[in-house]
Copies of this chain bind each other. A is one copy, B any other.
Amino acid sequence: MPVPPRAQPPSRIQIERPAPLVDCGRYPAKRTLGDVVTVSADVFSDGHDVLRAVVRSCAPGADGWREAPMQRIDAHVDGDRWAGEFEVSELGRWTWTIEAWTDAFASWRDELGRKLSFGQEDLSGELSEGAVLLQDAARRAEGADRKLIQDALTLLTDPATPAQAKHETALGPELFAAVARHPDRHESTVMEGGLHVEVDRVRARFGSWYELFPRSWGGLKGVAEQVPKLAELGFDVLYLPPVHPIGHTNRKGPNNALRAGADDPGSPWAIGDETGGHTALHPELGTFEDFDALVRVAGEEEIDIAMDFAIQCSADHPWLTEHPEWFNRRPDGTLKYAENPPKKYQDIYNVNFACEDWRGLWQALLDVVLFWVGHGVKVFRVDNPHTKPIAFWEWLIAEVRRHDREVVFLAEAFTRAAMMRTLAKVGFSQSYTYFTWKSGRHELIEYVVELATSGMQDFYRPNFFANTPDILTAELVHGGPPKFASRLVLAATLSPTYGIYSGYESFENVPVKPGSEEYLDSEKYEAKERALDGPLLPLVSELNAIRRANPALQRLDNVLFLGTENDALIAYAKRTGDNTLICVVTLDPVHGQEGSVMIPFELGLPPAFTVTDLLSGEQFDWRMGPNYVALDPFRVAHVLRVER
């Protein structure tokens, strides 16, 4: 390394450890429309010079940068952490960076002030330095500022002016402000490499989901009739399992039986028959006219229709004959159905993402998604994304967003943590989680703290489904209605996005066999008659209304768990601006439980305050420190709003 071959020496300013940062900048951090993005970094230099820093941000597709000042934070801890913010007012990928420079005039003024306060008398040398700085500043300034700076300069260099007046002028706030408005940034330092923030619409972060099988509700027309009621209940997303034709070959019967009876409808995930595949509708569900009408009616209520995107084909899917090269075959030419021994999925075939015509296959899959986007679908729940290549998802999601930036993707991956994290990083807007299996106080806290504070909050948006057609937990099986209620409160108040699968509101809790998480007579394999009349719906409706009215419940990273002095009670606060909620939930579906909720200093509440239970309407006097609570199976939670 020879002496660096530049005219100027390398910068003295370091800009390090920028945040938010996901995998060293390989992936963008995620935010939603209208968010104020706070960025921070260590910004420092050798010596004692005063530094200035700004965050510069560039909207998607814009050529210009906007900038906002950064401020030193946590001065008492370390002193070199700076933070600034910008609002993301457009969807898409924003770029940001940090620029910092030495403020020579402020440094000089600071030193002059210290010398005066320590009693130094002869400051003529110092004043001569200041004069040079003011000459420079006057050249950069204009109008009134220029005049003010020039006047100060004249005064400082006039031998007749008393020292006292010179010092007062030099240290005056007006001069300081005038110079600060025209900074000398020609030797400023810019952070290496821009970082990215991917901005989704708010639905990617916040929403209440309801999942139903259209065939149990009278097909697409029947579903459309439920929309006003779903809107009244406060749902934002209506998720439909696959609506495509279902294969005949090896069709599954009730309770996953290997042989279906003549009238058995089969699993909607065995996609495709001779009438069509991923871009067709099951004839018994309705027509495209019905589908478009459903999307329209839902849209009028600001409800998104979420479709299932499951990349697998029944033996009767047109692709098997049109594109046999897309599927896995044995050397003897036979097709390989999907399996993970000992599990077998004899009714479906997986595509081979690495087949010779992989480009054609990938494009066809993209075309499927774009087809439904063309029918107004803006949310896709992706089935088992972890069994398909990550690079495929990164490509597909980017392509879809190029066509329509509003599209939201939910990853249904229940697998090891690294895969789940990476799917989120490469583009999935939301992700299923381990929430259903976190039942104890300690494990719930540990898991939510990880989601909210470990760095995951910058790229992983949880969707807390309380149940799914695949997951009926032992807790629900044995806990009965009080457990259904408490898990609902937990899902709806811990996570900005949560969902229930139809039947939850009716406390459906019979497994196919003891110890199984599969429902008995699962709707996956047979049609039911369903209606929106479950006894839990009033609580659902209340919670959804509370979620909409309280911004604190629309975020995850603001959660703070509170001591309860009883492990059967879990308590947490969420605060956003002036909106502070305190939730207390019993984990015991059988016995009454008493405890004390500890309000800590760091929550920033006054010594005494009033809370309103948004579920019961009651008010209580609470205070910093311990607050007595008692919950039981008939009252499973307090959702308390702090009154100011």
Contacts and interface: CB of A to CB of B under 8 A. Distances in A.
A111 interface: yes
Contacts of A16: 23, 418, 422
A289 interface: no
A126 B336 CA distance: 10
A176 interface: no
Contacts of A192: 26
Given A1-B395, A128-B330, A341-B118, A419 B46 contact: yes
A567 interface: no
Interface string A358-389: 11001100000000000000000000001111
B3 A395 contact: yes
A501 interface: no
Nearest to A1: B398
A398 B131 CA distance: 40
B330 A125 contact: yes
Nearest to A26: B192
A4 interface: yes
B416 A78 contact: yes
Contacts of A422: 14, 16, 44
Contacts of A14: 390, 418, 422
Contacts of A607: none
A391 B118 contact: no
A284 interface: no
A319 to B, nearest CB: 18
Interface string A159-198: 0000000000000000000000000000000001000000
Given A12-B353, A80-B416, 6 more contacts: A1-B398, A3-B363, A16-B422, A44-B418, A46-B386, A46-B388
A160 B23 CA distance: 56
A108 to B, nearest CB: 11
Q: Which of A11, A341, A353 gathers the greatest number of chain B CB atoms within 10 Å?
A: A341
Contacts of A419: 44, 46, 80
A614 to B, nearest CB: 38
A580 B155 CA distance: 72
A443 interface: no
Of all A-B residue pairs in the complex, the 8 with the closest CB atoms, nearest first, are: A10-B391, A24-B24, A114-B341, A118-B342, A80-B418, A42-B418, A128-B331, A9-B358
Interface of A: 1, 3-4, 8-12, 14, 16-17, 23-26, 42, 44, 46-48, 78-81, 111, 114-115, 118, 120, 124-126, 128-129, 131-132, 192, 330-332, 334, 336, 340-342, 353-354, 358-359, 362-363, 386-392, 395, 398-399, 402, 416-419, 422
B114 A342 contact: yes
A114 B8 CA distance: 67
Copies of this protein in the assembly total 2
A623 B576 CA distance: 51
5 contacts: A4-B391, A10-B395, A26-B192, A81-B418, A129-B331
B47 A387 contact: yes
Q: Which of A111, A358, A386 gathers the greatest number of chain B CB atoms within 10 Å?
A: A358
Contacts of A363: 3
Nearest to A334: B125
Contacts of A387: 46-47
Q: Which of A9, A26, A131, A402 gathers the greatest number of chain B CB atoms within 10 Å?
A: A9
Contacts of A398: 1
Contacts of A118: 341-342
A125 B80 contact: no
Contacts of A340: 48
A53 to B, nearest CB: 14
Contacts of A78: 416-418
A6 to B, nearest CB: 9
Contacts of A125: 330, 332, 334, 336
A353 B102 CA distance: 15
A551 to B, nearest CB: 33
Contacts of A129: 330-331
A139 to B, nearest CB: 16
A402 B131 contact: no
A161 to B, nearest CB: 17
A544 to B, nearest CB: 35
Q: Which of A129, A132, A353, A389 gathers the greatest number of chain B CB atoms within 10 Å?
A: A389
Contacts of A8: 354
A106 to B, nearest CB: 15
B12 A23 contact: no
Nearest to A193: B24
A391 B9 contact: yes
A624 B106 CA distance: 60
A9 B353 contact: yes
B12 A389 contact: yes
Given A111-B341, A342-B118, A331 B4 contact: no
Contacts of A9: 353-354, 358, 362, 389, 391-392
Contact of A44 (B124, B132, B416): B416
B79 A416 contact: yes
B395 A131 contact: no
Contacts of A334: 125
A46 B382 CA distance: 15
Contact of A389 (B10, B26, B336): B10
A25 B14 CA distance: 16
B417 A362 contact: no
Contacts of A1: 395, 398-399, 402
Contacts of A24: 24-25
Contacts of A114: 341-342
B354 A12 contact: yes
Given A114-B342, A341-B114, A128 B389 contact: no
A179 to B, nearest CB: 17
A407 B331 CA distance: 62
Contacts of A10: 389, 391, 395
